[in-house]
Amino acid sequence: MAVIVNDRIDIRVSKKQKELFRYASDVSGFKNLTEFVVYCVNKEANKIIIENNQILKSIEDKKIFIKAILDAPQPNANLKKAQLNYNKFKSSNEVKDRGIGKKIRKK
């Protein structure tokens, strides 16, 4: 399959990185380092895009999510009650955890 080259990316890497990339390219059977780098970058870019799209499927989902974060509604009575219950639960468990730790250390 012929690849049409119509753009260019220039990068700078350390000598050690280039040697590593070239070795990986050779081991993987690529014709040259450029082919290897393009393959790896393309593969990683597609992976990132797929992962991103799995979290928020559409642009509209992303807009809703961002709006909810930036323009969150004020907490209602039920949310305030849940927060109080959580704080009580957390406080009571911290006391229990400390007691268990002391018993184990005394042995």
**Domain identity same for 24 and 54:** yes
Q: Strands, E, within 1-107: which ranges? A: none
Structure tokens, 54:
């799995």
**Domain identity same for 21 and 66:** yes
**Tens-digit pLDDT profile for the chain (107 aa)?**
566 778 888 999 999 999 999 999 999 999 999 999 999 999 999 999 888 777 777 788 888 888 999 998 889 999 999 999 999 998 888 755 555 555 554 44
Structure tokens, 87:
């704080």
Give me the pLDDT at residue 94, please. 72
16/22 Cα distance (integer angstroms):
10
- Total domains in the chain come to 2
Give me the pLDDT at residue 98, please. 57
**Domain identity same for 48 and 97:** no
